[in-house]
């Protein structure tokens, strides 16, 4: 069978009267395998060795027919006698090296891990997979040493990845149909490392229809795997495939108009940012003027920093005008979730026409997506999303809107509905000055106006230009805080533009 095993849905059996009752173990396993269980472990702490071997052989007939591996819990001697695919050992069971000596290099040997140390030791010792647990308190195993929760599992996954191990992992303990999706999502590490599957006992063993319970679980597991792979099967941090220095060049060659409908506080810095990157800023909040401005070949920025009924009507008119002219619109839903008025305004803007780019922080993007999403993921609205959830969110919103979605934060997430690009650049001084978030929208608008070939490349490159300029400014000896930062930041934006025009792309080394 080789060692490429599908750990997606891993059934651990239980022959105790509380769980198995009067049913036939072999029949339950046969049903579960028919329902899609991908790996089976015989776990029986009470039967005699002879009985275990007999049960193991009967189970192996069933699993072999289905092409599913059978492993024996703890009893390496039984695994050897049954000649099944391997064994699973807990921290208090036979040790890994001993089990390996008995079963040989080709056997599958899994190890239980409840801490980072246990996990790393098992990896180091050559385990074939890890069973990470206990995730949630469970009646099935009452003597659990630790309840990890999704965050504890995630920490173990992150540590394994950090140490360079690519070992498959499942988690175990209290997993059922209602928590499996969230558990799989919440355990994904920021770098995209995820569980290969889940191991369960009771949810299948006590189910009236084990086949049905198995296939219901497997459907969810496969769907999360598909989404996570899509979200992370794309360029990683600093990936160059979406970086196009031509975007920076084109902006200063074409000097596209960046038409800003924004609040008073940010107008000055937004206009200066536009000039520094080579674009032509126009600050006009009057909707009637938009149809003429749209014909000038630039892009529109709708910034919701100040909401008034009149402003909203102007925004609607301008979006319509830019859509009709086939020119891009960037939407910055400032403070989207903060008030009922703003939540309503988001709906008005979203339905006013096509928005080519939506840019906001986590809360704003979640509000734009709508409350469904929050419920669907089972995350309360005050909690923050983990990296995987952010990736899904930007990707799902971009796919729904057919546009580019940017979620800013310490790590920025950018998606075109298929790929997700993460950007780690920027500097905290950007957050200490007013208008720098809004001015990023301005920089993005100039880029999408000048670089129609790829909106994703335009946005990613504009963001790198902006955030790397901030890093370079912050590092200058003459910059002591927010006040000295702003002019230095404008200088660095300008210098990057000049360097890029001259073919010097050294700044991209920071991406």
Catalytic residues: 438
Query: Rule CB under 6 A: is residue 110 a binding residue for ligand 3NM?
Result: no
Identity of the residue, 145 or 236, whose beta carbon is nearer to ligand 3NM in the bound complex? 145
Segment 202 to 261, residues that bind ligand 3NM, using CB under 6 A: 202-203
Name the residue with tokens 């609607």.
316
Whole-angstrom CA distances from 105 to 48, 97, 108, 127, 498 are 27, 11, 8, 10, 60
**Closest-CB residue for ligand 3NM?**
133
Cα distance between residue 417 and residue 403, in whole Å: 7
Q: Which range binds ligand 3NM by CB under 6 A, 80-88, 137-145, 149-157, 259-267?
A: 137-145
Name the residue with tokens 């558990």.
183
Identity of the residue, 84 or 135, whose beta carbon is nearer to ligand 3NM in the bound complex? 135
Residues 6 or more apart whose CB falls under 8 angstroms from that of 367 comprise 333, 336, 337, 342, 343, 346
Identity of the residue, 118 or 416, whose beta carbon is nearer to ligand 3NM in the bound complex? 118
Smallest separation, CB 56 to Mg ion (Å) = 17
Angle at 177 between CA 174 and CA 180, to 5 degrees: 65
Smallest separation, CB 181 to ligand 3NM (Å) = 16
Question: What does the DSSP 8-state code read for residue 385?
Answer: P
H helix or E strand, kind and range, residue 317: helix 309-325
From candidates 52, 70, 175, 488, binder to ligand 3NM by CB under 6 A:
175
187 and 157 in contact (C-beta within 8 Å)?
Answer: yes
User: Which entry of Mg ion, ligand 3NM, none binds 228, CB below 5 to 8 A by partner kind?
Assistant: none
Query: Rule CB under 6 A: is residue 373 a binding residue for ligand 3NM?
Result: no
Q: Which range binds ligand 3NM by CB under 6 A, 135-143, 304-312, 325-333, 389-397?
A: 135-143
Q: Which range binds ligand 3NM by CB under 6 A, 131-139, 188-196, 294-302, 502-510?
A: 131-139
Report the first-to-last Cα separation within the chain, whole angstroms: 43
User: Which entry of Mg ion, ligand 3NM, none binds 472, CB below 5 to 8 A by partner kind?
Assistant: none
Query: Rule CB under 6 A: is residue 272 a binding residue for ligand 3NM?
Result: no
Segment 31 to 50, residues that bind ligand 3NM, using CB under 6 A: 43
Whole-angstrom CA distances from 274 to 145, 260, 277, 303, 374 are 58, 10, 6, 15, 35
Q: Which residues pair with 109 in a beta bridge?
A: 87
Query: Rule CB under 5 A: is residue 91 a binding residue for Mg ion?
Result: no
- Helix, strand, coil % (nearest 5) of the chain? 50, 15, 35
Handedness of CA 433, 437, 442, 443 (dihedral sign): positive
- Token reading at 486: 């702003």
Cα distance between residue 143 and residue 118, in whole Å: 18
Smallest separation, CB 97 to ligand 3NM (Å) = 20
Query: Rule CB under 6 A: is residue 500 a binding residue for ligand 3NM?
Result: no
**Closest-CB residue for Mg ion?**
90
From candidates 47, 77, 80, 90, binder to Mg ion by CB under 5 A:
90
Query: Rule CB under 6 A: is residue 88 a binding residue for ligand 3NM?
Result: no
Query: Rule CB under 6 A: is residue 173 a binding residue for ligand 3NM?
Result: yes
- Cβ neighbours of 21 (radius 10 Å): 10
Smallest separation, CB 7 to ligand 3NM (Å) = 15
Smallest separation, CB 134 to ligand 3NM (Å) = 3
User: Which entry of ligand 3NM, Mg ion, none binds 175, CB below 5 to 8 A by partner kind?
Assistant: ligand 3NM
From candidates 71, 122, 123, 200, binder to ligand 3NM by CB under 6 A:
200
Pairing label, strands 169-172, 197-200: parallel
Residue count of the chain: 511
- Whether omega before 134 lies within 30 degrees of 0, making that bond cis, reads yes
Query: Rule CB under 5 A: is residue 353 a binding residue for Mg ion?
Result: no
Size of the site for ligand 3NM (CB under 6 A): 18
Instruction: Name the residues that contact Mg ion, by CB under 5 A.
Output: 90
Instruction: Name the residues that contact ligand 3NM, by CB under 6 A.
Output: 12, 43, 112, 131, 133-134, 138, 140-141, 144, 172-175, 200-203
């Amino acid at each position: 069978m080789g060692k490429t095993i599908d750990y997606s849905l891993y059934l651990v059996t239980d022959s105790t009267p509380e769980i198995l009752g009067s049913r036939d173990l072999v029949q339950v396993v046969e049903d579960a395998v028919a329902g899609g269980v991908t790996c089976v472990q015989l776990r029986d702490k009470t039967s005699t060795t002879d009985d275990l071997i007999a049960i193991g052989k009967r189970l192996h007939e069933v699993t072999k027919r289905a092409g599913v591996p059978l492993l024996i819990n703890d009893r390496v001697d039984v695994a050897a006698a049954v000649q099944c695919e391997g064994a699973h050992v807990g921290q208090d069971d036979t040790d890994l090296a001993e089990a390996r000596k008995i079963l040989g290099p080709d056997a599958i040997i899994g190890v239980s891990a409840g801490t980072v140390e246990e996990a790393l030791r098992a990896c180091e010792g050559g385990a074939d997979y890890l069973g990470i647990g206990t995730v949630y308190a469970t009646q099935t195993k009452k003597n659990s040493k630790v309840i990890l929760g999704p965050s504890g599992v995630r920490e173990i996954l992150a540590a394994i990845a950090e140490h360079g191990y690519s070992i498959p992992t499942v988690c175990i303990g209290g997993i059922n149909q209602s928590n499996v999706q969230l558990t799989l999502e919440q355990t994904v590490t920021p770098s995209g490392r995820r569980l290969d599957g889940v191991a369960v006992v009771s949810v299948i063993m006590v189910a009236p229809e084990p086949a049905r319970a198995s296939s219901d679980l497997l459907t969810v597991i496969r769907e999360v795997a598909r989404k996570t792979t899509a979200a992370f099967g794309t360029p990683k941090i600093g990936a160059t495939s979406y970086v196009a220095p031509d975007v920076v060049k084109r902006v200063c060659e074409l000097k596209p108009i960046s038409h800003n409908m924004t609040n008073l506080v940010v107008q000055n810095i937004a206009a200066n940012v536009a000039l520094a990157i080579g674009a032509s800023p126009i600050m006009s909040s009057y909707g009637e003027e938009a149809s003429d401005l749209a014909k000038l070949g630039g892009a529109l920025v709708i910034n919701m920093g100040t909401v008034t009924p009149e402003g909203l009507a102007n925004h609607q008119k301008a979006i319509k005008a830019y859509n009709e002219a086939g020119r891009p619109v960037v939407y910055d839903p400032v403070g989207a979730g903060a008030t009922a008025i703003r939540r309503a305004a988001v709906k008005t803007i979203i339905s006013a026409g096509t928005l080519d780019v939506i840019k906001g922080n986590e809360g704003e993007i979640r509000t734009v997506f709508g409350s469904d999403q929050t419920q669907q993921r089972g995350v309360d609205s005050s909690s923050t999303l983990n990296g995987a959830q952010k990736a899904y969110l930007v990707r799902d919103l971009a796919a729904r809107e057919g546009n580019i979605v940017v979620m800013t934060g310490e790590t920025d997430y950018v998606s075109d509905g298929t790929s997700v690009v993460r950007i780690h650049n920027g500097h905290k001084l950007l957050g200490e000055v007013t208008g720098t978030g809004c001015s990023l929208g301005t920089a993005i608008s100039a880029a999408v106006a000048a670089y129609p070939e790829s909106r994703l490349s335009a946005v990613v490159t504009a963001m790198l230009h902006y955030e790397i300029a901030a890093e370079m400014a912050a590092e200058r000896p003459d910059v002591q805080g927010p006040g000295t930062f702003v002019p230095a930041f404008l200088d660095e934006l300008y210098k990057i533009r000049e360097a890029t025009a001259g073919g010097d792309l050294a700044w991209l080394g920071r991406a």
